[in-house]
């Protein structure tokens, strides 16, 4: 029963991915990577929440709460919550830069805005380095889900299954697949989380019995000192990086700034599922003390409390969320390699080469996952440290005239180095998020070096308006774009 | 396009203060709301509250986005 439901849902998702293609006979690279910049607010909403509430929500948050208490729980929900007000104001500028430069990837924007091929390459490499641990994060989560089902599937097999399905999504419909599959995933994920939370609550005997057991350490429900500093600095750093580092890939799919702004308004409502995850996590704290690998906590609560068919539903939601994000990440990387790293690939060949890159990435991330496992939220921190290095460049192109491409490149390279050193040496820093420090160094270099050796000026995104005649975008503009293109 | 300061304060400032300034002040108490620790209960209430702030900001901003032109991308090959 359980495997039937789980694999049945996965099979339905492939059908949904196929259906997403209806009406598109010949998929261009623009359709493949950014859905032809045509997504209305509701579809953007589902693609966004599909990306945001990844497998980290169901598997990573409970394990973090279990192992790290309130500080992990509050930073995890806090940074997502804080990201929405930031995105509401900044995301339209990201989308606008996509239109201005005919961009389908972030390196497209950086390279064309600062007119620097070397910056384009640096940005592309930074994103590749950062997205590999992110792909690994999804694979770890998928292994946990499949492992927790008690099926006779080895870690190797679960990773291969996930990679193959992600690849199939992309080959059939490009970015449309994750957007439509996300609707299916949301239904299962929400049902799963609500049911597990409510059942855990009734087993524990009410909220007071869940959260206020006498033997619970204070750090499980309160914050002070260095954990509080860590929580606040991580919320600030990750909420900014959230849109400026991660989200550009799906923002380019929107059909208008209006669609972006109006869909962001309702995204925080989706977070109302988190209280139920907190309930499930605290149930685990009380009933399974001293678990060695906390990653499996949520699945353990699920399999212990729910009938097997419901476990299948929960696992399907978790599984789809991981595969979905894997697909979008692979697509982002495919676009970056074909458009920004390999020079001179013609638009009509970009899709085929992207598919190849997607396959290579999935295999690579899968191999890395199988070679060693870590606590998920630690991997998540690393991804953010690295992606955060794109933030100063975005600020520069959004709001400043006099920042130079080579200064942005220097900032990114040094910032990446600093964040890797801090990640590996783990100094205390009084709780301050290491990624935030690396970004400050990066900011100082980007703006300091530009001030020392000023060059040409560029109109920032916040001052740029789309001329009425440029209401089209593609790979080979008929008229030169106002920014000159490449 | 220059932003409206009122919408920035309501949609950005209020949620930021609520989370980054008010939340740390509540973080050490052992007070409960309906059996839920105040720190958690407060952050949970901020979810719909942030949507409300953004909705108010969107009511201010929306008229400026009414005549936006759609774009099409990448259909030429």
Per-residue model confidence as pLDDT tens digits over A37-81: 888 888 888 888 887 887 878 888 898 888 888 888 999 999 999
Q: Which residues contact A414 (CB under 8 A, 6 or more apart)?
A: A441, A442, A445
pLDDT above 50 for A482: no
For residue A219, how far is the Cα from the chain centroid?
28
Cα A432 from chain centroid?
Answer: 23
Residue with tokens 């678990």: A291
> Where do the H-state alpha helices sit in chain B?
5-8, 14-17, 23-26, 38-61
Q: What is the mean pLDDT of chain A?
A: 84
Q: How far is Cα B74 from Cα A219, in angstroms, rounded to an integer? A: 52
Task: Point out which residues pair with A254 in neighbouring strands.
Answer: A39
Q: Among A38, A222, A266, select the one facing B51 at the smallest CB separation.
A: A266
Mean pLDDT of all residues in A220-240: 86
CA pair distance A462, B58, nearest whole angstrom: 18
Strand partners, A39: A254
B58 contact residues in A (CB cutoff 8 A): 88, 261-262, 265
pTM value?
0.86
CA A265 to chain centroid: 19
**Per-residue pLDDT at A409:** 93
Inter-chain touch A211–B72, beta carbons under 8 Å: no
pLDDT at A444: 95
List the domain boundaries for chain A: 2-373
CA A370 from chain centre, in angstroms, equals 21
pLDDT tens figures, A181-218: 888 888 888 888 999 999 999 888 888 777 877 677 77
In chain B, which among 6-65 make CB contacts under 8 A with chain A? 8, 11-12, 15-16, 19-20, 23-24, 27-30, 32, 34-37, 39-40, 43-44, 46-48, 50-51, 53-55, 57-58, 61-62, 65
A176: helix, strand or coil: helix
Residue with tokens 């190797």: A156
- ipTM of the complex in this document: 0.88
Token pair belonging to A214: 């006498």
CA dist A51 and A72 (Å) reads 20
- List Cβ<8 Å contacts ≥24 apart for A20-25: A20/A172, A20/A173, A20/A176, A20/A177, A20/A179, A20/A180, A20/A181, A21/A172, A21/A173, A21/A176, A24/A173, A24/A176
3-state secondary structure of A486: coil
Distance from CA of A4 to the nearest CA of B (A): 36
Q: Under CATH, to which class is A2-373 assigned?
A: mainly alpha
Q: Rounded distance, CA A460 to CA A442, Å?
A: 19
- Paired residues of B33 in beta bridges: B36
Is 60 exceeded by the pLDDT of residue A485? no
A73 touches chain B (CB under 8 A): yes
pLDDT at site A455: 80
What are the CA-CA distances from residue A87 to residues A71, A94, A325, A394, A396 (Å)? 24, 9, 19, 13, 17
Euclidean distance between CA atoms A195 and A197, whole angstroms: 5
CB neighbour burial string for A39-70, b if at least 16 within 10 angstroms, e if fewer:
bebebbbbbbbbbbbbbbbbbbbbbbbbbbbb
- Decide if pLDDT at A346 tops 60: yes
| Percentage of residues of chain A with pLDDT beyond 70 | 94
Give the pLDDT band of residue A478 (cuts 50, 70, 90): very low
Query: Buried b / exposed e across A412-451, counting CB within 10 Å, b at 16+?
Result: bbbbbebbbebbeeeeeeebbbbbbbbbebbbebbbebbe
Residue A31's pLDDT band (boundaries 50, 70, 90)? confident
Lowest mean pLDDT: which of A365-379, A451-465, B2-16?
A365-379
B contact test, residue of A200, A234, A261 with most B CBs within 10 A: A261
Tokens for A19, please give them: 């259906």
- Stated as kind and residue range, the H or E segment containing A351 is helix A347-371
What pLDDT score was predicted for residue A249?
74
């Amino acid at each position: 029963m359980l495997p039937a439901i789980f694999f049945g849902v996965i099979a339905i998702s492939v059908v949904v991915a196929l259906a997403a293609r209806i009406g598109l006979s010949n998929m261009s690279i623009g359709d493949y990577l950014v859905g032809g910049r045509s997504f209305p607010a509701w579809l953007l909403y589902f693609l966004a929440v599909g990306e945001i509430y990844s497998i980290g929500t169901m598997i990573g948050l409970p394990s973090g709460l279990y192992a790290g208490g309130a500080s992990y729980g509050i930073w995890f929900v806090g940074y997502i919550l804080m990201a929405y007000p930031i995105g509401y104001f900044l995301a339209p500028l990201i989308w606008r830069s996509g239109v201005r430069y005919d961009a389908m990837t972030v390196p497209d924007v950086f390279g064309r805005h600062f007119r620097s091929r070397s910056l384009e390459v640096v940005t592309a490499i930074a994103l590749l380095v950062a997205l590999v641990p992110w792909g690994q994060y999804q694979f770890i989560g998928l292994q946990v889900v499949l492992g927790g089902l008690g099926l006779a599937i080895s870690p190797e097999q679960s990773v291969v299954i996930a990679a193959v399905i992600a690849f199939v999504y992309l080959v059939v419909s490009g970015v449309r697949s994750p957007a439509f599959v996300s609707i299916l995933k949301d239904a299962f994920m929400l049902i799963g989380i609500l049911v597990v939370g409510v059942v855990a609550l009734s087993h524990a005997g009410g909220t007071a019995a869940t959260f206020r057991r006498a033997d619970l350490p204070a750090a499980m429900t309160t914050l002070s000192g260095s954990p509080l500093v860590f929580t606040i600095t991580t919320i600030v750093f990750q909420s900014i990086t959230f849109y400026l580092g991660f989200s550009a890939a799906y923002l380019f799919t929107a059909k208008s700034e209006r669609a972006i702004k109006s869909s962001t308004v309702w995204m925080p409502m989706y977070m109302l599922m988190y209280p139920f995850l907190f309930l499930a996590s605290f149930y685990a704290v009380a009933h399974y003390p001293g678990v060695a690998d906390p990653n499996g906590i949520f699945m353990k609560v699920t399999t212990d409390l729910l009938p097997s068919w419901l476990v299948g539903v929960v696992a399907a939601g978790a599984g789809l969320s991981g595969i979905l994000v894997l697909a979008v990440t692979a697509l982002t990387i495919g676009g970056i390699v074909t458009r920004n790293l390999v020079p001179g690939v013609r638009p009509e060949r970009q899709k085929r080469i992207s598919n190849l890159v997607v396959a290579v990435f999935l295999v690579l991330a899968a191999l890395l996952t199988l070679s060693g496992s870590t606590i998920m939220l630690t991997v998540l921190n690393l991804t953010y440290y690295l992606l955060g290095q794109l933030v100063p460049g975005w600020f520069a192109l959004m709001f400043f005239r006099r920042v130079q491409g080579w200064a942005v490149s220097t900032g990114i390279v040094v910032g990446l180095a600093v964040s890797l050193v801090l990640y590996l040496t783990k100094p205390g820093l009084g709780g301050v998020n290491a990624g935030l420090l690396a970004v400050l160094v990066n900011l100082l270099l980007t703006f300091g070096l530009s001030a020392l050796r000023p060059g040409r000026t560029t109109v920032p995104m916040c001052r740029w308006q789309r001329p009425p005649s440029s209401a089209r975008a593609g790979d080979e503009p008929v008229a030169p774009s106002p920014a000159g293109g490449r | 396009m220059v932003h409206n300061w009122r919408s920035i304060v309501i949609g950005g400032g209020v949620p930021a203060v609520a989370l980054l300034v008010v939340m740390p002040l509540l973080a050490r108490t052992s007070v409960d709301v309906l059996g839920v620790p105040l720190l958690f209960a407060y952050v949970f209430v901020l979810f719909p509250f942030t949507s409300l702030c953004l909705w108010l900001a969107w009511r201010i901003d929306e008229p400026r986005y009414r005549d936006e032109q759609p774009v099409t991308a990448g259909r030429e090959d």
